[in-house]
Structure 1
Amino acid sequence: MPATRDDLLSFLAELGIAVSTVDHQPVFTVAESGDLHERIPGGHTKNLFVKDKKGRLFLIVALHDAEIDLKKVHQVVGAQGRVSFGNADLLMEVLGVEPGSVTPFSLINDRGNLRVTPVFDAAMMQHDILNYHPLKNDATTAISAADLLKFAEACGHEPRVLAVSEQAREAGL
């Protein structure tokens, strides 16, 4: 059974990670979340659940307006051949969330198998505060960039901070 929002918030509290959560209408795309950017401070994000030709899974997390070239990102993240999006069934099986609710917080559901490689865009990690769905797209939870890394590591993952976006590469990150 996938973790719930309460499970996630309890886990974060056990780790000593302070977060704040704002409830809102469900948003399924970055485009639908525009007004949240004005109401909730910090970096707003998008999450790409992708797989390579060998079936390796990656969760690429970047700022909401980041330009990521899916034809080239495999070279940056170390994938075997070009990546494609993982389907809804695989997403639920591995990360325990539905499309529209993808979030790095879903790494809590991959603690036992460690099937996903989290990749955090270097430009995103320049923000002090970052915003993600707490496993469902009807709320947004703010966390510090440092605590995001702490959370991913506590889930058993070794997050990779890489320049996956055009913005990160242009900034020399």
Structure 2
Amino acid sequence: MWNKPSDSERIDAVTAWLDAADIAYDLYFHPASPTIELAKRHWRDDGSKHCKNLFFRNHKGNRHYLVCFDCDRTLSIHDLEARLHQGKLSFASPERMMRYLGLEPGSVSPFGLINDAEHHVHLFLDRNLLYCPSLSFHPNDCRATVVIARTEFERYLARVGNSYEYLDLYEE
């Protein structure tokens, strides 16, 4: 059993924010898992939908997007560009990730929006997530997982204040 890591400032920031907003969640710790493949080894069988999170910028570099979807699905950037109607997309650099979300690669999650005081980042969520009773994300650190009811996640999104929308990210 893993104990809480001593260097857990990002996790503490997320849980403190959620606690202050009176948003219910569960948290558990595991070995560092910066990729979905590694994370799958440590996730609990709790019925939540584990999400993959990708951070993009537009061609001009003046808009940034966080895209969240079912971790068992794959997206091509070309298809994503067509669905999002935001022009040519590329993965945002680690510097941009730090500037706008306060995060490093491997720890991207919607909880990074707590660090986006200017609400610069727009969040795109796969519409299929609307049908999941609970969702799982890193709490801005790949050594833990937050499990949150979708209704509580909606409350989080309303409180954090960034623009967001659900849309079809892939063909069924």
Same fold per superposition (TM over 0.5): yes
Alignment of 1:1-173 (within 5 A): 4-55=10-61, 56-79=63-86, 81-110=87-116, 112-164=117-169, 166=170, 169-170=171-172
Shift in alpha-carbon separation, 1:35–1:117, aligned structure 2, 3 A: same
Could you tell me how far 1:153 is from its partner in structure 2?
2.1
Task: Describe the SS at the equivalent of 2:55.
Answer: strand
Q: Distance in 1 between matches of 2:72 and 2:162?
A: 25
Give unpaired runs (5+ residues) of structure 1: none
Q: Distance in 2 between matches of 1:146 and 1:114?
A: 21
Give unpaired runs (5+ residues) of structure 2: 1-8
Q: Distance in 2 between matches of 1:78 and 1:154?
A: 26
Alignment match, 2:4: none
Could you tell me how far 1:150 is from its partner in structure 2?
1.8
The TM-score normalised by the length of structure 1 is 0.87
Q: Percent identity among equivalent residues? A: 27
Amino acid aligned to 1:57: H
Structure 1 stretches of at least 4 aligned residues deviating more than 4 Å after TM superposition: none
Q: Distance in 2 between matches of 1:65 and 1:158?
A: 25
Across the two proteins, how many residue pairs are aligned to each other?
Answer: 163
Root mean square deviation of aligned Cα: 1.6
Task: Describe the SS at the equivalent of 1:35.
Answer: coil
The TM-score normalised by the length of structure 2 is 0.88
